[in-house]
Amino acid sequence: MTSQNKKIINKKRIYYFSSKLTEGNKEMRELLGGKGANLAEMTSIGLPVPPGFTITTASCAEYYDAEEKLPTDLMDSVYENMQRLEKETGKYFGSSDNPLLVSVRSGSAVSMPGMMDTVLNLGLNDQSVEKLALITGNERFALDAYRRLINMFGDVVMGIEHHHFETVFDKIKKRYKANRDSELGIKGLRELIESYKQIVKEHTRKKFPQDPYLQLQLAIEAVFRSWNIPRAITYRRINDIHGLLGTAVNVQSMVFGNMGDESGTGVAFTRDPSTGKNEFYGEFLINAQGEDVVAGIRTPLPVKAMKKWRPDIYWQLLKVKKILESHYRDMQDIEFTIEHGKLFMLQTRIGKRTGPAAVKIAVDMVKEKSITQSTALLRVPANDLNQLLLPSFDPKAKRNVLATGLPASPGAASGYPVFTSDEAVSRAENGESVILVRRETSPEDIHGMHAAAGILTSTGGSTSHAAVVARGWGKCCIAGAGELNIDVKRKKIQVNDVTITGKDIISIDGTSGEIILGDVRKCPPNFSKEFKILMKWADKKRKLLIRTNADSPKDAKIARDFGAEGIGLCRTEHMFFGDQRIIAMRQMILADNQQDRRLALKKILPYQRRDFEGIFTVMKGLPVTIRLLDPPLHEFLPQDEKSQRQLARSMKVPAEKIIKRVYQLHEVNPMLGHRGCRLSITYPEILEIQVRAITEAAINCRRKRIDVQPEIMIPLVGIESELSVLRELVENTIARIKQKKKFKGKLDIPIGTMIEIPRAALTADQVATHADFFSFGTNDLTQMTFGYSRDDIGTFIPEYLNERILEKNPFQTIDSTGVGQLVEMAVKKGRTTKPKLKCGICGEHGGDPESIVFFQSVQLNYISCSPFRIPIARLAAAQAVLLAQ
C-alpha cells in the first residue's frame, strides 16, 4: 500500500448522505467513487435522493491488502450508519414490521459502466417479504422484489450463473402463460421464490441467508471482489485506467420503480450523447426496477413518451436536467426512479459521449456562457477527434436495408456478423472486419465489443450498457433492432424472409440505425461548424507548430486541408521504388564503379524532380523538410534466390553477380547497419542526385512563381563530422546546380539533421555547429535508447504491458523519463551553440497527445505527424499549453 493510501485509510471509512446530513461532495470522487461523490453532491443541492452512505475506495484497498478480508471494524461502522438510516426513514433493517431495504452498488473514481456488481432489495427474507406485502398492500410487488434479491444475490454474491435462474423463470412463466416477467402472478412468484432458494441450496450447499446484516456484509464483500473480476480488469486495461484504490460501496435505502403502473425507472442524458444536440435523451420503463433498463432485457420507451404517461414527472425531470447541467457545467448521465408518482435521483455522472458530441457540447456550452474556451479545449479528449475523421456511408450508395434499430452510437461499419465475443476477437485477429451481433451485450462481452468494427443488438435501448460502452469508444452501434431474430447457436440472423450467416457481409449505420445487406461504399468525413470553431480556438492557444509526415502530393494535400503548417518529414525511399526507378536503382547497386553508379542514378533524376515539384506546389508558402535516403541498400534487391535469378534474366546480368551482391550487402543488424548518412558518406552520388533533384525542382517552381521553402535533412547522424562532411557536399551541390541553371534569385535551403541516435543527443552542442535545425527521430531514438528492435517488439512488448513492466508502449507514447531526457538535453545543448536553433520531432510520437504535452514542455518549435492526426495534434498542442498553466 502506498503511504498516500495509508493516509486516506486512517481517516473515515464511511460517508453518510441525506437531506439532514451530507458528509461527502463531488470533489471526493477518488475516495467515494464517482457515484458516491455525486449522490452526496445531489443531496446537498436539494435534489430528491434516497438517503444512504458510501464506504470508501480506500476500504476496498484495505480489503485487498488484508487478502480479501473486510477491515476489522468496518461492519461496526456500517451498523452505526444503518441505525442513522433507520432513524431517518422510520423503517427498520431486518424488522418484520416495517422493513428497510437497501441497494448495494459499486462505484469507482472513473466510471466503468456495468463492469462491477450491484445487489438490490437487500434486507428481505421470508418474514419481511410478507410484511412488505402487507404494508404496501401490494403482494405481487413484494414477491417480485424478493425473487430479484435471491437472483441477484445468488448471482453476484454466491457466484451462481444467471442462466440457472433464467431457465427456471422461463419454465414457470410458460406454465402460467405469462409472456413478460411482469405478467407472472402471485402464485407463480411464490413458486419461483421457492425454486430460486432451491437453486441457491443446490449450487452452494447453503441456504439463502435470512439474516439481513449477513446479506449486507456478504454483498459489500462481493462488490469489493467485483473490482478484480476479469471483465473489470479488461475494461481498465482497454481504457487505460490505472492507479485507482478500488471501488467504493454505496448502500442506499431502496425506492421502487416496480410498484405498479404509477412507478417506473429510467436512464437519461442531459444532451444527446451521440450527436451532442441539446436535447433531453433517454428512456424509461414503467413498472420496472433499475437494472432492467441498463441490462437491455426489455426495450424501453423514449423519455419523451413520459410526457403522455406522467407530464408532471417529465417537467420535473427537465428541471433536474437544468439544475444538474448548470451545477456541473457539463452533460450528465442520470438514473432515476419513480415510486408511486414521486421522482428520485439515483445517480448523476459526466456522460460518456462520442467525439463529434464532445466537440458540439464543448462549443455549445461556451456559446451558452457556461464554460470558457479553455475549458472547452480541455473537455474534448484529443484522440476522440479520430471519430470525426472516420468515413460515413456514401449517401448516394445503394442500400439494401434489412431492418432499422435504434441509432445508439454513430459511424459506419461493415463486416461479417459474429455471434460470440470470442469469435469476434479471433476473427478480428485474423484481419477480418466483424460486427458483433447479440440479443443483448452483457459486460462479459467487453473484449468482443472492442475487437469488432461495430455492435448490433436486437434488444435494449440507446442507454443500454452496449450503447454506453460503444459510445465511450466511438464505436458504431445499433441497439434494439427488434426485427432481427438472432440464433446464436446456429450463427444466423433471420430478418423477415432473409437469412444471414457468418459468411455474409452486413453494414450498420450508427447514425440512421439501418442494418444493410452487403458492403456499402463509404465517403470522407464532413466537418461540423463546431469542429472548425474548436480548431480555431486551439490554433489561437497552441505554441507548437504542426507539420506533417507526407511523401506524396496527395498526402500533402490531405494534410494541408487538415491544417498542416508544413512538411516535417518527407521520406524519399519510395521515390526509388517505381517501375523504372527500381531498375535504375538496382543497376546503381550492382555497378562496379562510381561512374556507372552515376549513370544509373541519373535515370532516376527526372522522376524525383517531378515528385518534389508536385509536393512543393501543394505546399507552396510552407516549409518542406526532405530527408535524404535512409534505408540500407539491400532493401532494394530481392532476397530469395528465385527472384534474384529472375532479376538477373531481366537485367541481362549473371545471376551470380546479384547473389554475390546481396551476400555482400547482408547485415546481421540492418537497422544498426549501413544506412542513413552512412550511405551518403560511402555513396555520395546518391546524395548528390537527390540534392540535385530538390534544387532543380525548387528552381523550376520559383520560375513559375511558386513560393517553395525546401529544407534538407540528413538522417542517422551520430558524429559531428558526419554532418560537417555531408553539409559541405550538399552546399556544394546546391551551388553547382544554381550556377548550372543560371539561377540568380534567392534560394536558401536550410540543412539540418535528425537526432535519432543517442550519441547525437549527447553531443548535440557539437552537432548543432553544422545544423540549421534538429528534428528528433523518436522511432529510432526509442529503438536505440531501449535497445529494442522496432520491428520485433511484438514478441515481448504485449507481455511487458500486461505485467506492467512497461506502463505504455514506448513506440507510441514517448518515454519521457528515459528517451525524453535525451530529447530535452539535445534541445538545451543544441541551443547553447545556436540559441535560436529550430527543433522539431517527426517520429510517430508527434501524433500522440500525451507525448505532445512532453514536447511542449521541452520547448520544441514544431511536431510533425501523419496527415490524419493533424487535428488531434492541433488540439493536443493547445491542451499542452493549458495544462502547463
Window 601-630: contact mask with ligand PEP (x via CB under 6 A): -----------------------------x
Degrees (nearest 5) of the Cα angle 725, 728, 732?
A: 145
> Is 291:117 a contact under the CB 8 Å cutoff?
no
**285 in Cβ contact with 463 (< 8 Å):** no
Shortest CB 469 distance to Mg ion, Å? 38
Residue 779 interacts with ligand PEP (CB under 6 A): yes or no: yes
For 320, phi then psi, to 5°, come to: -60, -45
> Considering CB distances under 5 to 8 angstroms, the limit depending on partner class, which of Mg ion, ligand PEP, none binds residue 420?
none
Residue window 483-502: x/- pattern of binding to Mg ion, with contact defined by CB under 5 A: --------------------
Residue 390 Cβ vs ligand PEP, minimum distance, rounded to whole Å: 25
Strand order in the sheet with 498-501: 485-487, 492-495, 498-501
Determine, following the binding rule CB under 6 A, whether residue 778 of this chain makes contact with ligand PEP: yes
Stretch 546-605 residues interacting with ligand PEP (CB under 6 A): 569, 571
Distance, in Å, from the CA atom of 434 to the CA atom of 428, rounded to the nearest integer, reads 7
In one-letter notation, the amino acid at residue 433 is S
State the Cα–Cα distance between residues 346 and 724, nearest whole angstrom.
70
In terms of Cα–Cα distance, which of 412, 404, 409, 410 is closest to 467?
Answer: 409
Of 411, 489, 499, 497, give the one whose Cα is nearest residue 456: 411
List the beta strands (DSSP E) in 211-257.
Answer: 248-253
Answer for the pair 674, 632: CB distance below 8 angstroms, yes or no. Answer: yes
For ligand PEP, what does the binding mask look like between residues 442 and 471, x meaning CB under 6 A?
------------------------------
Minimum CB separation from ligand PEP for residue 569, in Å? 6
Please give the grid coordinates belonging to residue 720: 559531428
If the CB atoms of residues 479 and 761 are measured against ligand PEP, the closer one turns out to be 761
Residue from 696, 780, 815, 848 touching ligand PEP (CB under 6 A): that is 780
Using rule CB under 6 A, residue 78 touches ligand PEP? no
277, three cell numbers = 444536440
What is the amino acid identity at position 860?
L
Task: Among 14, 589, 842, 873, indicate the residue that binds ligand PEP (CB under 6 A).
Answer: 842
| x/- track of binding to ligand PEP for residues 627-666 (CB under 6 A) | ---x------------------------------------
Q: Among 51, 107, 474, 777, which residue interacts with Mg ion (rule: CB under 5 A)?
A: 777
From the list ligand PEP, Mg ion, none, which binds 843 (C-beta under 5 to 8 Å, kind-based)?
ligand PEP
Which partner in ligand PEP, Mg ion, none is near 513 (CB below 5 to 8 A by kind)? none
Residue 384 in contact with residue 358, Cβ under 8 Å?
yes
Give the number of residues in contact with ligand PEP, rule: CB under 6 A. Answer: 10
- Cα–Cα dist 863/840, whole Å: 5
Verify binding: residue 844, Mg ion, rule CB under 5 A: no
Question: Which residue in 164, 447, 450, 465 is the catalytic one?
Answer: 465
Q: Smaller CB distance to ligand PEP: residue 779 or 812?
A: 779
Checking phi first, is residue 804 left (phi over 0); if not, alpha (psi -120 to 50) or beta? Answer: left
CB closer to ligand PEP out of 418 and 550: 550
Q: Which of residues 740-769 bind Mg ion (CB under 5 A)?
A: 756
Q: Print the binding letters for residues 27-66 with ligand PEP: x by CB under 6 A, - otherwise.
A: ----------------------------------------
387 or 785, CB closer to Mg ion?
785
Residues in 727-756 that interact with ligand PEP by CB under 6 A: 756
Query: By CB under 5 A, how many residues form the interface with Mg ion?
Result: 3
For residues 93 and 213, what is the distance between their CA atoms, to the nearest angstrom?
Answer: 8
Minimum distance from residue 568 beta carbon to ligand PEP (Å): 9
Does 840 interact with ligand PEP (rule: CB under 6 A)? Answer: no
Comparison of 445 and 756: residue with beta carbon closer to Mg ion: 756
Cβ proximity to Mg ion, 569 vs 875, nearer residue: 569
Q: Is 842 a catalytic residue?
A: yes
Cα angle value 389/392/398 (rounded, 5°): 160
Piece in contact with ligand PEP (CB under 6 A), picked from 151-159, 165-173, 738-746, 777-785: 777-785
Rounded to the nearest whole angstrom, what is the least distance from the CB of residue 631 to ligand PEP in the complex? 8
Which residue, 99 or 777, is less far from ligand PEP as judged by CB?
Answer: 777
C-alpha cell at 613: 515539384
From residue 718, how far is each of 54, 780, 816, 844, 855 by CA, in Å? 59, 12, 21, 21, 22
Strand 773-776 with 838-841, pairing: parallel
Site string for ligand PEP, 785-824 (x = CB under 6 A): ----------------------------------------
Question: What grid cell was written down for 211?
Answer: 439474516
Is 701 in the active site? no
Kindly indicate which of the ranges 99-107, 365-373, 601-609, 772-780 contains the residues binding ligand PEP, using the contact rule CB under 6 A: 772-780
Stretch that binds ligand PEP, among 15-23, 275-283, 347-355, 778-786 (CB under 6 A): 778-786
For residues 772 and 780, which CB has a smaller minimum distance to Mg ion in the complex?
780
Strands 118-122 and 709-714: unpaired
Q: Which of 364, 565, 780, 848 binds Mg ion (CB under 5 A)?
A: 780
Contact present, 359 and 380 (Cβ < 8 Å): yes
Per CB under 6 A, the segment of 184-192, 207-215, 467-475, 774-782 that binds ligand PEP is: 774-782
* Minimum gap (Å) between residue 669 Cβ and Mg ion: 15
Rg of the chain taking only CA atoms, in angstroms:
33
Compute the least distance from the CB of residue 773 to Mg ion, in Å. 16
Q: Which of 60, 677, 842, 865 is catalytic?
A: 842
Considering only residues 97 to 156 of the shown chain, the ones binding Mg ion according to CB under 5 A are none
**Cα(177)–Cα(191) distance, rounded to whole angstroms?**
14
Q: Which of residues 232-291 bind ligand PEP (CB under 6 A)?
A: none
Q: Do 460 and 405 meet the contact criterion of CB atoms below 8 Å apart? A: no
Among 481-489, 701-709, 726-734, 775-783, the segment contacting ligand PEP (CB under 6 A): 775-783
Residues 6+ apart with CB under 8 A from 181: 169, 173
Dihedral sign from CA coordinates of 759, 764, 766, 770: positive
CA distance linking residue 531 with residue 521, whole number of Å: 24
First to last CA, the chain: 32
DSSP letters of 562-616? TT--SEEEEE-GGGGTSHHHHHHHHHHHH-SSHHHHHHHHHTTHHHHHHHHHHHH
Three-state DSSP string of 721-775: HHHHHHHHHHHHHHHHHHHHCCCCCCCCCCEEEEECCHHHHHCHHHHHCCCCEEE
Q: Which is nearer to ligand PEP, 711 or 756 (CB)?
A: 756
Enumerate the β-bridge partners of residue 755.
776
How many residues in the chain?
885
Which cell numbers in the block locate residue 617?
506546389
Q: Are strands 623-627 and 709-714 parallel, antiparallel or unpaired?
A: parallel
**Distance of closest approach, residue 277 Cβ to ligand PEP, in angstroms:** 41
Min. distance of Cβ 465 from ligand PEP in angstroms?
40
Look at residue 571 and give the partner it binds from ligand PEP, Mg ion, none, a contact being a CB closer than 5 to 8 Å depending on partner kind. ligand PEP
What are the residues binding Mg ion (CB under 5 A)?
756, 777, 780
Q: Which residues bind ligand PEP (CB under 6 A)?
A: 569, 571, 630, 756, 777-780, 842-843
Return the active site residues: 465, 842
